[in-house]
Amino acid sequence: MKTLGKKIRLLRHQKGWSQEDVAKRLDISIPAFSKIETGITDINLSRLEQIADLFEMSVVQLLTFNDAEGELKYANELESVNKKLMDRETEVIDLQKKVIELFEELRQSKATA
């Protein structure tokens, strides 16, 4: 349930609402709502429907909601890290080639000596 709480918190932030604002709309205490957001309290179906209505979405939409901005951020970070990794792999391959070339030079110089 912690991920659901995170989704609810994100939706609340997107609306610019405080925990107090949402708690009042749900007719619950601020600590009770805080426990929902942190995943301490499990949400029953009627409360889930109430929260979904508050954010103008269905229960299914609420349960399957994803943070597109967050996913995009992580996708960009992953792309950047992958590029760095590929650059490092290229460097390693180049260094391996140099080691092989130096080894061959050393072997040939010993053979002629």
Helix (H) or strand (E) holding 89: helix 68-112
pLDDT reported for residue 71: 61
Decide: helix, strand or coil at residue 16. Answer: coil
Topology given in CATH for the domain delimited by 2-64:
434 Repressor (Amino-terminal Domain) (1.10.260)
Tokens 């749900």 belong to: 26
Residue from 91, 22, 92, 13 nearest 53 by CA? 22
Label residue 86 by pLDDT band (50, 70, 90): very high
What are the residue boundaries of the structural domains of the chain, listed by start?
2-64, 67-113
pTM score above 0.85: no
DSSP state of 18: -
User: What letter represents residue 17's amino acid?
Assistant: W
Decide: helix, strand or coil at residue 53. Answer: helix
| pLDDT tens-digit series, residues 31-45 | 999 999 998 988 999
Q: Are 11 and 65 in contact (CB under 8 A)?
A: yes
Decide: helix, strand or coil at residue 54. Answer: helix
pLDDT reported for residue 69: 57
In the predicted structure, residue 5 carries a pLDDT above the cut 50: yes
